[in-house]
Amino acid sequence: MNKLEKLKISQLKKFLASQVVFRDQTLYYSHNVSLETLTKTLNLDHQKTELIYQKISGSKERIKNTILNENIMQNLLLELGFDFEKKEFKHFYEQVQFFGFAQKETKFINRSLIVTVMGHVDHGKTTLLDVIRNTDVAHREHGKITQKIGGYEVNFKKNKITFIDTPGHEIFQDMRSQGAQITDLIVLVVAGNEGIKPQTIEAIQHAKRTKVPIIVFINKMDLATANPQNIMQQLSHYDLISTAIGGNTVYKMGSCLQKKGIQELLNAIVLKGNEINLKTDINLLPKALVIDSFLDKQGVKTSVIIQNGNLKVKEAVIVDDIVGKIKSIDDDLKTCFQIVTPGKCVVLLGLNKLVPVGSIIFGFPNDKLVANLAKNFNYEKSTTTNKSKQVLLNSVKNFLQATKQKQQINLIVKVDSKSSEQVLKKRLSGFLVSETDSELIELNFIQISFGEINLNDLQSAIITKSQILTFNVKLNKVIGKKIEALGIIYHNFYLLYKFFEYLEDLQTSVKNQQLNEKIVGQAEVLKVFHHSKLGSIAGCIIRKGQIKLDNNKIQVMRQQTIIGKNLKIKSLKHERDNIQGAVMNQEFGIILFNFDDFQVGDELCQFQVLSQDEK
Ligand code: GDP
């Protein structure tokens, strides 16, 4: 073990021993601390420190390093007039973030600039990413086999740029909600012939919220109908005013199809990148952000962007509830690394479980310490197979309980990767309704998991009379024949919106049979509060009609897009009081069942469901 590794271990041990911080007149701690740590953290003057030592009998030298009993510590804090709170963490990275992990910063390098391409579907994001990937000829031998790992690095005029190549908006949002900052820069692609669309606006809002700069690329300029002036005009309403007329947004235009304007765009990216501080200390504890997680022949693969420090093969890692040891690291060109530097996008082998996108991985040179850490934090090793069997059993049980319900379509969904699974689950939460409402349950998801369709899936599709829907998943020939023979309805989708269009069609086809809806109230979300126990609370104002605490369902709209429907109200309050309803212009707070994703500006509509006779 070298000197630096020893230093990291001693820093980590120190960090684990004294997790305490004093902020806003409150002492936060997660473990009991010594008297000396307590007085130092509270920054007590000599007189108060002496007073405390007097209260605890024994010689000062002997007691100063003794770990305090929690009751004694709390009594002391009360006497001193300080608030206190014991913090419990689910994830190691949250703890590191909260208490701060003081590390000596020593060796700085310039990391790659991290860029995410966003924009509306079909405006040319994938084509642009492909063109850029192929532009990087010096770095990429022609014909070399590549693998899709969620991102790739290019060298452009000696500048390293990592492009993130993941499903886009939802993932970005997931990461943001977990406090992870993923990108330095957003390239917003807008098709010159179409103009701004809902996902264009969504991308702008993400960028603004995360304070990430935007470069606009107006694509499809080869089309006669392309109208860049119109797009600039539309985007100026979102404060994206071109530098050409004194604004601060760089606009580039071109055609991905004809490979025009790409060099100019890359130049603009590099120039903007020069304004961003890319210096990073490679001697910090290695930290990486998970951007995808999937299973292939070799086992569980985890795609990450290295954020801090150098990550090495054979290093022990902790991520969420698992520990592992890195067996191999490679990139999209299948280049193997023994050690990777910050800013790189690589795929790791060595974790035994898929991890959610947005998780943070920490690497340590000492696996014994990591194993101990895992024990401390109640992390547990588990295997995917056991877990998925359990999930399946539970799903079948749920199904059997749910058979009394009237109108429903059962679905088994399989997806290609963990990131797709997360995106789908997130979007689907809007389709799921509360268990108690038997009249309205229409789509019943028996199982949502990743991987190809297997015999188990067919078996549960037969038991539960389910359709099987897949997203980006190959169909094995034998299984395909069995699906046909068994008469199971099966569809594969490559585009997320097509998948949701299909679900919408399924829903409406059932609904149209006997139900129709009438809007009774509309409200706007003015503020969002997050409560650790209650979930997200939306502070709203009624804009039309009224919203009542009854069985009528709520729909949440964002940019004219439904992001949650058939939602049931969990709680309705005006200030601190529970209320039965809110009327025109009244402000109120609302919590919904199965929906946690409010944003300021969302619109809530309440529907009254009418039967055919009432129409
Ligand atoms: P994404 O959904 O934003 O990733 O869009 P894609 O990259 O898949 O592109 C959508 C469609 O637009 C495809 O049929 C592309 O061939 C086409 N396309 C992409 N760039 C251009 C362009 O510069 N000009 C024209 N005419 N078509 C383009």
Write the CA distances from 287 to 169, 344, 483, integer angstroms: 23, 12, 44
Q: Are residues 532 and 592 in the same domain?
A: yes
Atom number, ligand 1, closest to the C-alpha of residue 255? 23
Residue 290 within any structural domain of the chain = no
Q: How much distance in Å is there from the Cα of 222 to the middle of ligand 1?
A: 11
Closest among 478, 479, 470 to 448, alpha carbons compared: 470
Of 116, 127, 472, the one to substitute when testing ligand 1's pocket (max ligand atoms within 8 A of C-beta) is 127
Q: Tell me, what's the pLDDT at 507?
A: 66
| CA 230 to ligand 1 centroid distance, Å | 20
The pLDDT tens digits for 5-61 are 676 666 666 666 667 888 777 888 877 788 888 888 888 888 888 877 777 766 666
Query: Is the pLDDT higher at 297 or at 405?
Result: 297
Is residue 121 lining ligand 1, measured as CB closer than 6 Å?
yes
Q: Spell out a b/e string for 368-405, using b for 16 or more CB atoms within 10 Å of the CB, else e.
A: ebbeebbeebebeeeebeeeeeeebeebbeebeebeee
The pLDDT, as a whole number, for residue 398 is 43
123 Cβ closer than 6 Å to some ligand 1 atom: yes
State which H helix or E strand residue 70 sits in.
helix 70-80
Q: What pLDDT, on the 0 to 100 scale, is given for residue 393? A: 34
Q: Are residues 507 and 587 in the same domain?
A: no
Query: Between vectors from CA 174 to CA 452 and to CA 388, what angle results, nearest 5°?
Result: 35
Q: Report the pLDDT averaged over residues 560-582.
A: 84
Phi, psi (rounded to 5 degrees) for 424: -60, -45
Decide if 35 is inside a domain: yes
Query: Are 81 and 177 within one domain?
Result: no
The rounded percent of the chain whose pLDDT value lies above 70 is 75
Shared-domain flag, residues 496 and 444: yes
Asked if residues 537 and 589 have their Cβ atoms less than 8 Å apart, the reply is yes
Q: Which of 512, 533, 562 is the last residue of a domain?
A: 512
What distances in angstroms separate CA 217 from CA 195, 221, 233, 250, one per listed residue?
12, 10, 14, 9
Q: Which helix (H) or strand (E) holds 153?
A: strand 151-156
CATH of the domain at 240: 3.40.50.300
SS3 letters across 81-124: CCEEEECCCCCHHHHHHHHCCCCCCCCEEECCEEEEEEECCCCC
| pLDDT computed for residue 166 by the predictor | 62
CA–CA separation, 10 vs 17, rounded Å?
Answer: 11
pLDDT at res. 323? 77
Residue of 200, 256, 260, 262 with the most ligand 1 atoms within 8 Å of its CB, for mutation = 256
Average pLDDT over the chain, rounded to whole? Answer: 78
Same domain, yes or no, for 402 and 530?
no
Most confident of 196-205, 239-248, 369-378, 415-424: 239-248
Element containing residue 409 per DSSP (H, E): strand 409-415
Residue 337 lies in a domain: no
Domain termination residue (choose one: 512, 536, 562): 512
Q: Which residue has the higher pLDDT, 105 or 406?
A: 105
Asked whether residue 93 falls in the same domain as residue 146, the answer is: no
Which of 82-91, 185-194, 369-378 holds the top average pLDDT?
A: 185-194
8 & 42 share domain: yes
Mean pLDDT value of segment 430-452:
59
Q: How many domains does the chain have?
A: 4
Distance of CA 533 from the midpoint of ligand 1 (Å):
44
> How confident is the model over 204-226, as a mean pLDDT?
91
The per-residue pLDDT for 614 is 46
- 3-state SS, residue 415: strand
pLDDT at position 141: 56
pLDDT band at residue 440 using 50, 70 and 90 as cut-offs: very low
Q: Quote the pLDDT of residue 392.
A: 35
Q: Is the CB of 596 under 6 A from ligand 1?
A: no
Same domain, yes or no, for 160 and 259? yes
How far apart are the CA of 261 and the centre of ligand 1, in A? 15
> For residue 305, what pLDDT band results from cuts at 50, 70 and 90?
very high
Residue range 51-76, pLDDT digits in tens: 777 777 666 666 777 777 777 787 77
Let me know: does 20 contact 34? Beta carbons within 8 Å: no
pLDDT for the residue 592 = 93
Instruction: Render pLDDT for 325-379 as a digit per residue (tens, 0 to 9).
Output: 899 999 988 899 999 999 999 999 998 777 777 778 888 776 666 666 655 554 3
pLDDT band at 383 (very low <50, low <70, confident <90, very high): very low
Same domain membership, residue 239 and residue 139: yes
Q: What is the pLDDT of residue 368?
A: 67
Q: Is residue 312 assigned to a domain?
A: no
Taking the C-alpha atoms of residue 188 and residue 350, their distance in angstroms, rounded to an integer, is: 35
The pLDDT score that the predictor gives to residue 223 is 96
Å from CA of 126 to ligand 1 middle: 7
CA distance 471 to 475: 11
Domain hosting residue 47, numbered range: 3-101
Is residue 257 within 6 Å of ligand 1 at its C-beta? yes
- Structure token digits, residue 407: 């109108």
pLDDT for residue 139 is more than 80: no
Report the atom number in ligand 1 closest to the C-alpha of 121. Answer: 2
Of 117, 118, 121, 122, which is best to mutate to test ligand 1, by the most ligand atoms within 8 angstroms of its C-beta?
Answer: 122
Q: 372 lies in a domain?
A: no
Domain membership of residue 345 (yes or no) is no
Residue nearest ligand 1's atom 15 by CA:
124
Please give the number of the atom of ligand 1 that sits closest to the Cα of 128: 7
Task: Measure the CA–CA gap between 300 and 270, rounded to whole angstroms.
Answer: 34
Q: Is the pLDDT of residue 548 over 60?
A: yes
Answer whether 298's CB lies under 8 Å from 349's CB.
yes
Residue 286 lies inside a defined structural domain of this protein: no
What are 555's two structure tokens?
A: 């729909």
Q: Measured from the CA of 129, which atom of ligand 1 is nearest? A: 7
Asked if 387 contacts 434 with a C-beta cutoff of 8 angstroms, the reply is no
User: What is the model's pLDDT at position 401?
Assistant: 43
For residues 184 and 260, state if they share a domain: yes
Residue 161 lies in a domain: yes
**Tell me, what CATH number does 578's domain have?**
2.40.30.10
Q: pLDDT tens digits for 494-511?
A: 877 788 878 877 766 545
What are 389-404's pLDDT values in tens digits?
Answer: 333 333 333 433 443 3
> Between 477-486 and 455-464, two packed helices, what is the crossing angle to 10 degrees?
10
Q: Let me know whether 35 and 148 are in one domain.
A: no
Q: In CATH, what number is assigned to the domain containing residue 492?
A: 3.40.50.10050
pLDDT at 415: 87
Residue after which a domain boundary falls, among 496, 512, 528: 512
Alpha helices, DSSP H, located in 429-560: 455-464, 477-486, 496-514
- Residue 554 to residues 71, 488, 565, 594, Cα–Cα distance (Å): 47, 33, 6, 11
> Which of the two residues, 391 and 80, has the higher pLDDT score?
80
Which ligand 1 atom lies nearest to the CA of residue 189?
3
Same domain, 143 and 275: yes
pLDDT, residue 395, reads 38
For residue 471, pLDDT over 90 is answered with no
Q: Is the CB of 193 under 6 A from ligand 1?
A: no
Residue 194 has pLDDT above 60, yes or no: yes
Cβ–Cβ under 8 Å, residues 482 and 456: no
Q: Which is it for strands 328-330 and 322-325: parallel, antiparallel or unpaired?
A: unpaired
3-state helix, strand, coil in the chain (%, to 5): 30, 35, 35
Whole-number pLDDT of residue 145: 66
